[in-house]
Chains A and B, each alone.
Chain A
Amino acid sequence: MTEMTFADAVREGLAEEMRRDPLVWALGEDLSTAHGGTSANQYLGLIDEFGPKRIVNTPISENTIMGAAVGAAVAGTRPVADLRMADFGMCAVDELVNQAAKIRYMFGGQARVPLVVRQAIGMRKGGAAQHSQSTEAWYVHTPGLVVVAPGTPADGRGLLKSAIRADDPVVYMEHKDLWVSKGDVPDDEGLVPIGVAKTLRQGTDLTIVSWSKMAQLSNDAAEALAKDGASVEVIDLRTLWPWDKAAVYASIKKTGRLLVAQEAVQVGGFAAEIMADVTENCAGDLKTHARRIGAPRMPVPYAEPMENEYRVTTERVIAKARETLDA
């Protein structure tokens, strides 16, 4: 194991895949400049090793970044397109949703679209309305797409590698606040399979299901609740589509209680899908109805007090968990 930041671990993962397969390449704005991707140096140094044909510093042209990735994928390569933030990813939803997601199906299986699109999600302090959004549910709703949202450096690296090797288009959503977070990363290949959740903590009274940065907050909440004698199990889904139903069902069988925690706006979010699913499939195991926590249905405000009002905090997860435990 080696301790690394999320950004470094994911860069390593990308480099390893690029060494393994010469048809893996990356494209996006500012990837090859001295900053190596302006947000968190996620591409630092890759230009030196792989050159400008494989680390493509693009114009500010989101539609073409995404469209080119689709075209290059059907033409036999494995592009990793970086749209920097999910907010800018919206500029290229068309190419992703109308093309990448549907090409295999509508052309009768003639082609695969093995691309990865990186779209960072989540709030950073002061990010405000257009640099903070968590749009994972948009893509879970889109048939044809795989959606992953890793929460640790090891999962960030391992899921990126699996995403690159997958023949489906994968939306890879990394939380901006996680880039600088540190964790142990395995020294071996460290592949993390798509569609497999990770149990962060065992428990018997309540299951909290979450993903991305919110999984860490859920874990903190569980730790706090343990001091009060509550035994909370925390599942980090890691992949949102296909999500690990077996892991969630098994946990509910054990605990009889479910809370789903997400940073994204609650209305129409992915937590709603999980709740609906377990209502249909785990009704007999639930001692109380499943609950969820997510942000109010509003844009992310700027000033700190309002931003904190918006945020799904550990304290709020704890309160909701208590409500679920007491019901």
Chain B
Amino acid sequence: MNQTTARENKPAHIFELYQTMCLIRAFEEKAEIAFDDGFINGSIHQYIGQEAVGTGVCQNLRASDYILSNHRGHGHSIAKGANPEAMMKELMGRVGGTSGAKGGSMHIADFSVGMLGANGVLADGLTMGVGAAQAITLKGEDNIVAVFVGDGTTNRGPFYEALNWAMVYELPILFVCENNTYASSTLTRSVTAGEGPVARAKAFGMPASDVDGNDIVAVDELAADLIARVRSGGGPHFLHARTYRVKGHISRDKLLYRRDGETSENWENEPLGRCAGWLAENGFDESELRTAHSAAYARIDAAVESAKAAPFPDAALAYVDVQDFGPPEPWTKEGGAS
């Protein structure tokens, strides 16, 4: 999206990424408040602390490129261009939600911007990403697919099937492994053999790179390069981004499994502060950064208010979009549902 600006004016480009990251951070913080206030049901998996990864990758993609996300998908969605206002409505189960309020937080999707879905089942995005890349190849397009996968999920079998397949058919996929150290309440390294995701990808002969996932400048540079390679027929690539899940696995998580001070130590390395620091060193004054930051929060505050004001969907909409042949029969029918 911003590749021209990137080349011409790097600070301006990074500033744009900063704005996106602020939007994601604001979205996640406000969603947590809305959750605690009882406006959101189920659970939310926040992306706080990982904003640079999704932003650096997705902002280097075109609208026609696809991404497949996982359970922690709010940030990926916003970075790919999904509308935060519609997303907030989805979280609150209101009319105007991205998925018509059918899916909620874990099933955000916006096909109009190539966001093919968050996912409640780990690793399924990997194999579906392979299929999306097969489709691109079949249609002869020059689009690509980016698939996001957590560190813990690299222990599921479909991860290996997908990487192998993508290599065998030289598919246009960028696998993005977001290593945030944890898989729920388990330290991923305590259940993971070998040297980690990069070594695993390399075992398939896949070019694999490692980046500080909290450094937006580094993620952006690397992602731009890898995406260009994938797009020009270089086959699948693997990007391993080291980051940290600052919040709990879900917002209610009490983090009993962390040692004292661990969260605050890692908070010092969070990507927005680092990005602001870089921008300050590169010609932006503090007031510009503050303005950008508050603009994001103002936008999300408004999104929250408009979501709260939006109506709930009509119950009858529950029956819509199940399938063409043999759709469900509503309760009102004699004999009950079927």
Contact = CB atoms under 8 A, between A and B. Distances in A.
B137 to A, nearest CB: 27
Interface in A53-70: 57-64
Contacts of B122: 60, 88
Interface in B162-218: 183-186, 190-192
A128 B256 contact: no
A40 interface: no
Contacts of A130: 106-107, 119-121
A58 B191 contact: yes
Contact of A57 (B102, B186, B313, B322): B186
A202 interface: no
B336 A302 contact: no
Contact of B41 (A33, A292, A302): A302
A320 interface: yes
Interface in B285-317: 312-317
B121 A59 contact: no
Contacts, number: 156
Interface in B233-291: 249, 256-257
B166 to A, nearest CB: 20
**Chain B interface size, under 10 / 10 to 19 / 20 to 34 / 35 or more:** 35 or more
Contacts of A308: 315
A299 interface: yes
A29 interface: yes
B41 A38 contact: no
A34 interface: yes
B43 interface: yes
B73 interface: no
Given A60-B155, A130-B106, A296-B330, A303 B191 contact: no
B106 A295 contact: no
Question: Which of B90, B103, B186 counts the most chain A CB atoms within 10 A?
Answer: B186
Interface stretch (B17-25, B46-54, B93-101): B93-101
B101 A306 contact: yes
A22 B338 CA distance: 47
A310 B337 CA distance: 9
Contacts of B315: 305-306, 308-309
A125 interface: yes
B153 A128 contact: no
A308 B186 CA distance: 34
A293 interface: yes
Given A33-B186, A34-B257, A128-B106, A297 B337 contact: yes
Interface string B70-98: 00000000000000000000100110010
B161 to A, nearest CB: 11
Contacts of B329: 296-297
A266 interface: yes
A1 interface: no
B20 to A, nearest CB: 26
B162 to A, nearest CB: 14
Interface string B11-49: 000000000000000000000000000001111000000
Contacts of B319: 296, 298, 309
B337 A306 contact: no
B322 A131 contact: no
A114 B123 CA distance: 29
Given A29-B184, A34-B256, A297-B337, A304 B312 contact: yes
A87 interface: yes
Nearest to A61: B155
Interface string A274-296: 00000000000000000111111
Nearest to A90: B121
A30 interface: yes
B257 A129 contact: no
A103 to B, nearest CB: 21
Interface string A153-193: 00000000000000000000000000000000000000000
A143 interface: no
A322 interface: no
Contacts of B40: 126
A88 B119 CA distance: 12
Interface string A297-323: 111011111111110000010001000
Contacts of B104: 126, 128, 302-303
Contact of B322 (A62, A294, A299): A299
Interface of A: 29-30, 33-35, 38, 57-64, 87-88, 90-91, 124-131, 266-267, 291-299, 301-310, 316, 320
14 contacts: A30-B186, A33-B257, A88-B122, A91-B156, A128-B103, A293-B336, A294-B337, A296-B319, A296-B329, A298-B319, A298-B322, A302-B42, A305-B312, A306-B313
